[in-house]
Amino acid sequence: MEQFSQGDRVEYRNHNNEDCQGTVERVDGTGRETRYTIQNARNQMMEQVEIDRVARRLS
């Protein structure tokens, strides 16, 4: 499973199961327990996202 770092731009699924893009602001935990705080690029809201809901890194 791909790991992401603070500052990475990513595509993810939010809690409403919508495809979103944003920037990783914080990383908590390790392995399958990793959680990311992501700032949504569209609405600037911070969201807590589990590792399995982050699809990929954007260029």
Question: 4-33, pLDDT tens digit by residue?
Answer: 999 999 999 999 999 999 999 999 999 999
Q: What is the pLDDT of residue 1?
A: 74
Among 16, 18, 55, residue whose Cα is nearest residue 36: 55
Q: What domains can be seen in the chain, in order of their start residue?
A: 9-57 (2.30.30)
* Interior angle at CA 10, CA 9 and CA 13, nearest 5: 150
Cα(58)–Cα(8) distance, integer angstroms: 8
Residue 44 pLDDT > 90: yes
Residue 52 pLDDT > 90: yes
Contact by Cβ (8 Å): 8, 55: no
Burial tier of 13 (Cβ tally within 10 Å: 0-12, 13-18, 19+): middle
